[in-house]
Each structure stands twice: as C-alpha cells, then as structure tokens.
Amino acid sequence: MTDIRGHIVGVVVDSVTEVIDLKDDAIESPPDVTGSSTSMFIQGIANTNNELHILVNLDKLISEEELEHLV
C-alpha cells in the first residue's frame, strides 16, 4: 500500500524476490536519459551488494484519470 496524491492505493505485482530497507543516502538520483519515455517513472536508483535497484515513482506511473477511476 502507498499514498498517491492523498489516496491509499495497493499495487499488484507478478512476484517479489526480495524486500530491502534503503537509507536515504543509499538512493541516488536517476541518470539523465534524454529522449527516454520511461525515465520519468524512475524515482531513484540504489546499488547494494553489486545489485542495482530501481525505485519506481508510482505518483507518475498512475495518471490522474486512472487514479480517479480507482477511488
């Protein structure tokens, strides 16, 4: 569950392989990928134990119209 623009929303995924706790200083800004239509959905990246983790920005992933349909 997460709060998206004042609404509690659950997210359904195919699978989860691991849940990790990241400290704020472990999260880096996403790389600037000019021209990529998907870069706006990336909130940040983290590298732990040589594994790259991509943090998805759910607020940008769900449009206002989709959110209104859900609530």
Domain range annotation of the chain: 2-12+22-61
Q: How many C-beta atoms surround the C-beta of residue 53 within 10 A?
A: 14
Question: Is residue 34 pLDDT above 70, yes or no?
Answer: no
2-12+22-61 folds as SH3 type barrels. (2.30.30)
The H or E element spanning position 54 is strand 51-56
DSSP state of 61: H
20-38 mean pLDDT: 84
Q: Which residue has the higher pLDDT, 41 or 39?
A: 41
Which residues on adjacent β-strands are paired with residue 54? 45
